[in-house]
Amino acid sequence: MPERAVFLDRDGTINEEVGFLNNPDQLKLITGTAEALKLLNNMGFLTVVISNQSGIARGFLTEDRLLEINRELTTMLRESGAIIDKIYYCPHHPDAEISRYHRDCDCRKPNPGMLRRAAEELSVDLQKSFVIGDKISDLTAGFAAGCRTVLVLTGYGRKSQQRIGELSFAPDFIAQDLLDAARWIRRKTLEVSKTSSV
């Protein structure tokens, strides 16, 4: 049976936005993040991070350093009882300083490549899944993949909210933060369960 997933942007959604985060010491969880993830874990959703990391292409950090940062993030959350099941990232950029990352790829959001890869590798039903992020590119990737989308007003969220009119679609929900988004997903999931049981 296909899995349901909640796909999460990282910077500005899970942890505080600091520009090009390149050191684990810069990690600071947004208030309510661990509680939100625990709620999603308990509802049976896979929690999957999908993150553009063009700082690698620009030479601000290496892939090894990114993996170190991601390990620290998962450790911080695990210590609070919250689980991230998988992390995907795109290191590419069409204007990359480092030649091997110089690519106009399908995995860089707003393209849906990371979502489709996750769906294949983790047996996820994208139609029953959600994407949460603070940028227009997160919403666009989610919509292209057939997921429901949630804009959070943390990180760049308030600036993104001003640009929603540029989109050919509307996010399914605008949340104050990740915890607000998780609670909305719980409400939607309960509504579906009640409808299915009638």
- For residue 82, the domain's CATH number is 3.40.50.1000
Angle separating helix axes 136-145 and 113-122, nearest 10 degrees? 50
Measure the N-to-C terminal CA separation of the chain; round to a whole number of Å: 22
Decide if 9 is catalytic: yes
Q: How many domains does the chain have?
A: 1
- Provide the pLDDT for residue 97: 87
Decide if 95 is catalytic: no
Catalytic residue selected from 9, 134, 138, 177: 9
For 137, the 3-state DSSP assignment is helix
Look up the pTM and report it: 0.95
- Provide the pLDDT for residue 66: 97
- Provide the pLDDT for residue 183: 98
Catalytic residue selected from 11, 172, 177, 180: 11
pLDDT tens-digit profile, the chain (198 residues): 789 999 999 999 999 999 889 999 999 999 999 999 999 999 999 999 999 999 999 999 999 999 999 999 999 999 999 999 999 999 999 988 899 999 999 999 999 999 999 999 999 999 999 999 999 999 999 999 999 999 999 999 999 999 999 999 999 999 999 999 999 999 999 887 666 654
Name the residue range of residue 168's domain.
5-197
Report phi then psi at 172, rounded to 5: -70, -25
- Provide the pLDDT for residue 130: 98
